[in-house]
């Protein structure tokens, strides 16, 4: 066995034996029947990151805005991209998530805010932080399926346009990912398409949607994107790439 292989194996074992990693290491081993073939790891909730990698073969290095980023790794649509040299802006309204972003995504811009048209929002935080939301209708739904709301926070609101103007004034963002539990349309509208030069539109959009196919393509954020010239490329279990 080559020295480089032994070194990588030792490094992998050291990380795998950490308490939070061991369970995932065991699950990966069982899933792949003992690593008897190459396989791909997805950090996203439903494989969105693998879909992005296959859709961007010519974009070796790009930029992103990840709205509703949630976590640098857990259910992350952009971790794979970050590891490949992409850099961008991560935005989440839960201030408790910011320290880990600043630690693990130190080369990114990390912002605690809700994205949309209002100056302030009420963030409803659930025991499962992934589904925390500013959408009252979504709150009722999450409670109806057994989620527990643990607190409310008043958070700052910022527009998507302000993010683009401040951090990408002369550059077209490669990917805009929006997954904010029912408030995607408000966030996307805040880009103010009418006054944004088309050359500065994000190249790709990844928007939260739900099956079946017909329902996904009729969601308001998708229809708005289509009205601005975006074409659905992939409909995934919980999102649509345009």
Q: Is 12 helix (H, G, I), strand (E, B) or coil?
A: helix
Residue-wise pLDDT tens digits, 22-70: 666 665 555 555 556 656 777 777 778 888 888 877 667 899 999 998 8
Residue 198 is given by DSSP the state G
| 166 and 196 housed in the same domain | yes
Q: How many independent structural domains does the chain possess? A: 2
Phi-psi region of 116 (alpha: psi -120 to 50; beta: other; left: phi over 0): left
Query: 39 φ, ψ to 5°?
Result: -150, 165
- Quick one: pLDDT at residue 26? 61
Q: Residue 111 belongs to what domain range?
A: 42-241
DSSP assignment of 53-89: HHH-TT-SS-EEEEET---SSTT-SSHHHHHTT-EEE
- Please choose, from the candidates 186, 176, 126, the residue with its C-alpha nearest in 3D space to the C-alpha of residue 152: 126
What's the CA dihedral at 70, 74, 80, 83 to 10 degrees? Answer: 90
Question: In CATH, what number is assigned to the domain containing residue 92?
Answer: 3.40.50
User: How far, in Å, CA of 242 to CA of 238, rounded?
Assistant: 14
Q: Which backbone phi and psi does 157 adopt, to 5 degrees?
A: -105, 140
Does 61 share its domain with 18?
A: no
- pLDDT recorded at residue 2: 53
pLDDT the model gives residue 202:
97
In terms of domains, do 34 and 51 share one? no
Look at the chain and count its residues.
242
Q: What is the pLDDT of residue 174?
A: 95
Residues forming beta bridges with residue 109, ordered by sequence position: 89
Q: What is the pLDDT of residue 142?
A: 79
Q: Are residues 34 and 57 in the same domain?
A: no
Q: Are residues 46 and 15 in the same domain?
A: no
Alpha-helix residue ranges (DSSP H) falling in the chain: 3-16, 19-31, 48-55, 79-83, 98-104, 136-144, 160-167, 184-189, 213-217, 220-227
Both 123 and 50 in a single domain?
yes
Residues 109 and 209 in one domain: yes
Statement to judge: residues 99 and 32 lie in one domain: no
Low-confidence ranges of the chain (pLDDT < 70): 1-39, 58-59, 129
pTM of the model: 0.81
Which residues partner with 90 through β-bridges?
Answer: 66, 110
Q: Both 220 and 101 in a single domain?
A: yes
Which 3 state secondary structure label does DSSP give 129?
Answer: helix
Residues 54 and 147 in one domain: yes
Helix and strand counts by DSSP (H, E) for the chain: 10, 10
Shared domain for 219 and 113, answered yes or no, is: yes
- 104 and 64 in a common domain: yes
């Amino acid at each position: 066995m080559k020295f480089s292989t032994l070194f990588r194996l030792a490094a992998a074992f050291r990380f795998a034996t950490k308490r939070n990693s061991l369970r995932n290491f065991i699950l990966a081993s069982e899933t792949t029947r003992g690593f008897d073939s190459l396989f791909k790891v997805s950090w996203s909730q439903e494989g969105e990151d693998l879909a992005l990698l296959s859709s961007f073969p010519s974009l070796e290095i790009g930029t992103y805005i990840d709205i509703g980023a949630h976590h640098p790794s857990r259910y992350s649509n952009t971790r794979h991209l970050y590891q490949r040299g992409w850099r961008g802006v991560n935005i989440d309204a839960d201030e408790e998530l910011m320290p880990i972003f600043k630690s693990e995504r130190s080369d990114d811009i990390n912002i605690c805010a809700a994205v949309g048209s209002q100056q302030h929002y009420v963030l409803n935080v659930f025991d499962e932080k992934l589904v925390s939301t500013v959408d009252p209708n979504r709150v009722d739904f999450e409670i109806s399926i057994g989620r527990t709301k643990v607190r409310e926070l008043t958070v700052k609101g910022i527009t998507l346009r302000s993010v683009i103007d401040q951090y990408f004034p002369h550059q077209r963002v490669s990917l805009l990912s929006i997954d904010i539990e029912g408030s995607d349309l408000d966030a996307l509208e805040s880009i103010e398409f009418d006054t944004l030069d088309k050359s500065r539109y994000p190249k790709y959009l990844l928007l939260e949607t739900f099956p079946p196919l017909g329902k996904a393509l009729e969601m308001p954020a998708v229809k708005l994107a289509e009205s601005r010239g975006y074409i659905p490329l992939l409909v995934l279990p919980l999102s649509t790439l345009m």
